[in-house]
Structure 1
Amino acid sequence: MGADWPSEASCSLPHQSTSAKCERTFIESSRKGQLLSDERLRVAEFKERDLNHPDHRKLQLHASKIHQIREGILHDHDHDSRSHDFSHAVSLLEVSFGEADALLAFKDGIGNYSEGALDDWTPGKRSEYCSWTRVTCNRQLHVTALHLSSLYLTGSLGPSLSNLSYLEELRLDQNFLKSEIPPELGRLSRLRILNLEDNLLYGSIPKELGNLTSLQVLNLGYQGWWFNGTIPKELGQLSELWFLNLGAVNRWYSEKVYYMTARNELRGTIPRSLGNCTKLEYLDFYSSRYLTGVIPEELGKLIHLSFLSFEANNFTGAVPHQLENLTKCDYLDFRNNALQGHLPAGLANLSRLVVLDVGNNFFTGNLVDVISTSLSELSWFNAALNSFTGTFLELLLSCNNLLTLDLSYNIFSGNLPADLGRLSSAKSIDICGNMFGGEIPESITNISLLTYLDLSINNFTGTLYALKNSTLLEILNPGNLGSDIGSMVQNSFTGSLTDEMVRSWRKMVRLDLSYNTLIGNIPRAVGNLTQLLYLDLSRNKLDGGIPEELGNLQKLYWLYLTDNELTGKILTSLANLEEVYAIRLGGNKLTGSIPQEFGNFTKISELSLHMNNLSGEIPRDLGKLQTLRFPNLYKNNLTSTIPITLTNCSALWTIELSHNSLRGGLTHIDFAKMEYLYLLSVSGNQFIGFFPITLWNCSYLQLVDLSRNHFSGMLPKFDVLNPQLLHRPSQKINLRSLRVLS
Structure 2
Amino acid sequence: MEFSRLTRLIKLDLSSEYFIRIEHPDLFALLRNLSGLTELYLDGVDISVNAYEWGQAISSALPNLRVLSLRGCSLSGPIDSSLQNLQFLSEINLDSNILSAPVPDFLANFSNLKVLILSSCFLYGTFPDIIFERVQTLETLDMSYNSQLTGRLPDFQKNQSLRNLALSSTNFSGYLPESVGNLMELRRLEIDECHFSGPIPNALANLSQLVYLDLSENNFIGPIPSFQGLKKLTHIDLSRNALTGVVLSTQFESLLDLYHIDLSQNSFNGSIPSSLFFLPSLQKILLSDNKFSGQITGFSNESLSPLGTLDLSRNKLEGPIPSYFFHFLRLSTLSLSFNNFSGDIDLEILQRLQNLSTLELSHNSLTVNASVSNSSSSSFPQLKTLKLASCKLQKFPPLMNQSGLLELDLSKNQISGVIPNWIWNVSGGDQVYMNLSCNLLVGFQPEFSIPVIDFLDLHSNKLQGEIPIPESANYWDYSRNSFSSSIPAEIGNKIACVNFLSLSDNMLSGPHPSINMQWIHPLCS
What letter matches 2:247 in structure 1? Answer: I
What letter matches 1:359 in structure 2? Answer: D
1:524-543 equivalent positions in 2, closer than 5 A: 524=249, 525-543=251-269
Check conservation: 2:307, 2:328, Cα contact below 8 A: yes
For residue 531 of structure 1, report the CA deviation from its aligned partner.
1.5
User: % of aligned pairs identical?
Assistant: 28
Greater helix share, structure number = 1
For residue 697 of structure 1, report the CA deviation from its aligned partner.
4.0
CA distance in 1, matches of 2:114, 2:471: 55
Name 2:87's counterpart in structure 1: 351
Matched, 1:606 2:313: no
Check conservation: 1:583, 1:608, Cα contact below 8 A: yes
CA distance in 1, matches of 2:292, 2:190: 26
Query: For 1:246-267, what per-residue CA distance to the aligned partner results, in whole angstroms no more than 9, with x for missing partners?
Result: xxxxxxxxxxxxxxxxxxxxxx
Larger radius of gyration: 1
SS for the counterpart of 1:511 is strand
Name 1:704's counterpart in structure 2: 434
1:53-452 equivalent positions in 2, closer than 5 A: 215=1, 235=2, 238-242=3-7, 280-287=9-16, 289-292=18-21, 295-296=24-25, 297-299=28-30, 301=32, 302-319=34-51, 320=54, 321-325=56-60, 326-373=62-109, 375-389=110-124, 390-410=126-146, 411-418=148-155, 420-421=156-157, 424-452=160-188
Name 2:380's counterpart in structure 1: 649
For residue 282 of structure 1, report the CA deviation from its aligned partner.
2.9
Name 2:459's counterpart in structure 1: none
CA distance in 1, matches of 2:269, 2:21: 55
CA distance in 1, matches of 2:245, 2:342: 26
SS for the counterpart of 1:346 is helix
Check conservation: 2:168, 2:193, Cα contact below 8 A: yes
Give the TM-score of the pair, scaled to structure 1: 0.56
Check conservation: 1:691, 1:713, Cα contact below 8 A: yes
Q: Using a 3 Å threshold, how does the CA distance of structure 1 residues 378 and 722 change in structure 2: closer, same or farther?
A: closer
Aligned residues: 443
SS for the counterpart of 2:294 is strand
SS for the counterpart of 1:468 is helix
SS for the counterpart of 1:673 is coil
CA distance in 1, matches of 2:80, 2:136: 23
Q: Using a 3 Å threshold, how does the CA distance of structure 1 residues 606 and 722 change in structure 2: closer, same or farther?
A: closer
Matched, 1:522 2:254: no
Give the TM-score of the pair, scaled to structure 2: 0.78
CA distance in 1, matches of 2:400, 2:292: 38
For residue 640 of structure 1, report the CA deviation from its aligned partner.
4.4
Name 1:273's counterpart in structure 2: none
Check conservation: 2:335, 2:361, Cα contact below 8 A: yes
Q: Using a 3 Å threshold, how does the CA distance of structure 1 residues 692 and 617 change in structure 2: closer, same or farther?
A: farther
Greater strand share, structure number = 2
Q: Using a 3 Å threshold, how does the CA distance of structure 1 residues 451 and 653 change in structure 2: closer, same or farther?
A: same
Q: Using a 3 Å threshold, how does the CA distance of structure 1 residues 718 and 675 change in structure 2: closer, same or farther?
A: closer
CA distance in 2, matches of 1:423, 1:405: 16
Check conservation: 1:618, 1:643, Cα contact below 8 A: no
CA distance in 2, matches of 1:558, 1:351: 45
Q: Using a 3 Å threshold, how does the CA distance of structure 1 residues 607 and 386 change in structure 2: closer, same or farther?
A: same
Q: Using a 3 Å threshold, how does the CA distance of structure 1 residues 516 and 610 change in structure 2: closer, same or farther?
A: same
SS for the counterpart of 1:332 is strand
Query: For 1:118-171, what per-residue CA distance to the aligned partner results, in whole angstroms no more than 9, with x for missing partners?
Result: xxxxxxxxxxxxxxxxxxxxxxxxxxxxxxxxxxxxxxxxxxxxxxxxxxxxxx
Name 1:554's counterpart in structure 2: 280
Name 2:313's counterpart in structure 1: 586
Q: Using a 3 Å threshold, how does the CA distance of structure 1 residues 324 and 394 change in structure 2: closer, same or farther?
A: same
Check conservation: 2:350, 2:381, Cα contact below 8 A: no
Q: Using a 3 Å threshold, how does the CA distance of structure 1 residues 716 and 529 change in structure 2: closer, same or farther?
A: same
Name 2:237's counterpart in structure 1: 512
For residue 546 of structure 1, report the CA deviation from its aligned partner.
0.6
Check conservation: 1:679, 1:701, Cα contact below 8 A: no
Name 2:501's counterpart in structure 1: none
SS for the counterpart of 1:366 is coil
CA distance in 2, matches of 1:392, 1:635: 51
SS for the counterpart of 2:181 is helix
CA distance in 1, matches of 2:10, 2:391: 73
Q: Using a 3 Å threshold, how does the CA distance of structure 1 residues 347 and 736 change in structure 2: closer, same or farther?
A: farther
Name 2:357's counterpart in structure 1: 629
Q: Using a 3 Å threshold, how does the CA distance of structure 1 residues 309 and 573 change in structure 2: closer, same or farther?
A: same
Q: Using a 3 Å threshold, how does the CA distance of structure 1 residues 447 and 610 change in structure 2: closer, same or farther?
A: same
Query: For 1:674-716, what per-residue CA distance to the aligned partner results, in whole angstroms no more than 9, with x for missing partners?
Result: 2222222101111123323333443235033212111234344
Check conservation: 1:451, 1:473, Cα contact below 8 A: yes
Q: Using a 3 Å threshold, how does the CA distance of structure 1 residues 554 and 737 change in structure 2: closer, same or farther?
A: farther
Query: For 1:280-300, what per-residue CA distance to the aligned partner results, in whole angstroms no more than 9, with x for missing partners?
Result: 533222015222365334355
Cα-Cα RMSD: 2.6
